[in-house]
């Protein structure tokens, strides 16, 4: 019995015709690196290279490629997960990184932080 899954409105066989390379390109094409750059500036995060969309994309690509082989990768606040052949990418901010003054500047006006934790 053959297994199938749907990704971005396309049907793929779970037997291997869905290539990681295609997923990585699709994810990088649709990921909002401008928003990541803006958050990094507002939060005053340091970056090893010049903070550009291209450098952020390079880090995300490396993370996705590693996850395609090892199921998981986290680097430069990017986190890539391989869940049964489907890759995902996110940019995360730790709870201790949140500063109400930075968020106030970012969002404008008053802002109170409310942290939610999973049980």
Sheet with strand 78-83: strands edge to edge:
72-75, 78-83, 86-91
Contact 24, 44 (CB under 8 A): no
Q: What percent of the chain clears pLDDT 90, i.e. is strictly above it?
A: 36
**What mean pLDDT is reported for the chain?**
77
Rg of the chain's alpha carbons, rounded to an integer? 17
Q: pLDDT tens digits, residue range 29-87? A: 999 999 999 888 888 888 888 889 999 999 999 999 999 999 999 998 999 999 888 89
């Amino acid at each position: 019995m053959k297994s199938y899954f749907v990704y971005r409105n396309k049907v793929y066989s779970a037997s291997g015709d869905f290539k990681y390379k295609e997923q990585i390109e699709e994810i990088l094409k649709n990921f909002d690196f401008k928003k990541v750059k803006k958050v990094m500036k507002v939060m005053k995060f340091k970056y090893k290279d010049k903070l550009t969309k291209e450098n952020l994309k390079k880090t995300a690509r490396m993370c996705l490629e590693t996850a395609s082989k090892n199921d998981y990768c986290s680097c430069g606040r990017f986190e890539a997960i391989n869940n049964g052949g489907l890759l995902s990418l996110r940019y995360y901010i730790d709870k201790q990184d949140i500063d109400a003054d930075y968020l106030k500047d970012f969002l404008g006006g008053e802002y109170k932080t409310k942290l939610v934790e999973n049980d």
